[in-house]
Structures are given as structure tokens and as C-alpha cells.
Amino acid sequence: MDQSNNQVPVPPNLSFESLKKLNQHAVEYWSARDLQACLGYSNWRDFKNAIKKAIQACEQSGNSPNHHFADARKPIPGGKGSSQIVEDYHLSRFACYLIAQNGDPRKPEIAQAQKYFAIQTRRQEISDQMAADMERVEMRKQMKEDFQELSGAAKKAGVQNSMFGIFHDAGYRGLYGGLGVDAIKARKDIPPKDNLMDRMDRSELAANQFRMTQTQDKLKRDNVKNQRDAIGTHEIIGKGVRSLIEEFGGTLPENIPPAEPIKTVVKRIKTVKPRLLLDPKDSLGVINPSEIIDEQKK
């Protein structure tokens, strides 16, 4: 029986650092099979796809995948005391970071791992501009999904297709002090044909994402079933998010200057390689340091 794609339970509260191991050269590494559960994956095939993306990212960053993703095998217990050898990888800390960055962002475990590695600044350095660009693009992708999900929730709440524009505009009016989409564009001197979300910076995207997810949750929680209440709920949530911004002394969204078009940012990311520099110790990955020295002598 093929166990390579088996479902495994996801243990709660796994600690990334507690999974660290040392090989025969006293070099730290993580088992991909162990990390799989830690990052919320129950299926090896799905997790291996994240590993493949991470390997590509490692190569694109100018670092050798062979130093960070070592093929391995791992015994797993079978029936009647037997065991089976399955595919595994020995991963460096940097490899774990790349897997987290390329994992499913909908998984809370992935989100936590990304936050964890974000504060490990000594482990890798990426240009400030590139980091900001990548974060904004990812947020915009998520916003597109959130918008579609909110539209689905609105439809279930009784909003007719012909009223979707008014429904979404109500959320903007609540958040932007009474301004709808067209008025926001005019205030910010954004061309009418531009998608408003394509001209939002990370802070403005985050405020609107919070507005949309909270509206979606409230429509479901309150079991809203008529169009008027759904539109009113969206506006109320927008006003609530605006109040939070005011309470914490943040810049109100209508006063945030328009960001450069998202298409320009995407193009820049595709044409500029990210600068990922590792500490000398980390650049060795899971390889025996003496092997690196021998390679350099050749």
C-alpha cells in the first residue's frame, strides 16, 4: 500500500524549534515529515507541492537548493509492528522559511510561521522595496478572494445582482466617511477606469480587508436574509473599522495617497531578482561544512 500521500492528523501546538534535530556533523535540520504537521498539512502530496515551490524560490534567490533540501527517507510505523520507508527531506532553517513563504496562506499555521520567520531578521535580508512589493501583491491577491467571498455572502443574505454595486459602495461609505468609490477616486485623483483596490497601499488594503472579512462574518453570524439589512450591515462595519483607525491615531483611508498601480509592482517583481543573503553559517544549510570546503578547492 502506498503511504506517500496518506492523511496524517495535525497535532496541536507543535513548536518549530522543538522539531530541530542535529545530524552526524552537528548541523541543525528539520524533517519535512515533521514540519508537514507543524504547518497544518495533513496530506503529503499537498505539502510536497509547497516544498517544490520553495526549492524554486531557493534557486531564484541565488542559493543552492542542494545545500538546503536534502533527499532523505523516514520510517513510519505500519500494522502489526511493521514499518515502511517513505519519502522525506532534511531541511535547513532557510528551507523551512521558504516553505512557509510558499505555503497555503489560508492555513493559520502558515500565517503563524510567516510571522515567526519575519522576526528572524538575522537569518535573511531582502531589499526593503522588494519586501514591500511582495507583501502588497500578496495582500491584493487575498483581497480579490475576500471580495468574491463577501459577494457570495451578500447574495446568500438577499442582495440582488443589480444591487451589488450599492452593497459594496456602502462598505466604502462607512469606512471612508461617507465617500463612495467614485468620490474616493476623485478625491485621490485616481483615473475612473482604475480599480480602486489596485491603487491602495498595504495599510489601506489591510483596513479594507478587515472591513470585508468582518462584514462577511457578521452576515453569517446574524443570519441576515434581506437586502436592506445586508447593505446596512456593511456600512456599519465600515464605520466601526473607521472608528478603530481614529481611536489608534491612524491615517484615515481617504487621506492616504494613492499607491502606484499594482500592475507596475507585479512587473517590477518579475524583472528584479530578490536579494536574499544568508549568514555564512546558514548558507551551508544541512551540508557538512567540510564538504563545502572540498567543493571550493576543486
- Domain assignments of the chain as residue spans, ordered by start: 17-125+276-297, 130-271
Q: What per-residue confidence (pLDDT) applies to 17?
A: 84
Q: Residues of 179-191 as b/e, b for ≥16 C-beta within 10 angstroms?
A: bbbebbbeebebe
Contact residues for 275 (Cβ-Cβ < 8 A; gap 6+): 125, 126, 127, 130
pTM: 0.55
What is the structure's pLDDT at 222? Answer: 96
Instruction: Report the 10 Å Cβ neighbour count for 49.
Output: 15
Interacting residues of 191 by C-beta distance below 8 A, sequence separation 6+: 185
Neighbouring residues of 153: CB distance < 8 A, sequence distance ≥ 6? 215, 216, 219, 220
According to the model, what pLDDT value does residue 3 have?
Answer: 44
Q: Are 184 and 196 in contact (CB under 8 A)?
A: yes
pLDDT recorded at residue 216: 95
User: So what's the pLDDT on residue 63?
Assistant: 84
Residue 281 has a pLDDT of: 63
Looking at residue 81, its pLDDT comes to 62
What is the predicted pLDDT for the residue at 115?
74
Q: What pLDDT shows up at residue 99? A: 93
Residue numbers in the chain where pLDDT is lower than 70: 1-14, 76-83, 118-128, 272-284, 287-298
Collapsing DSSP to helix, strand or coil, 41 comes out as: coil
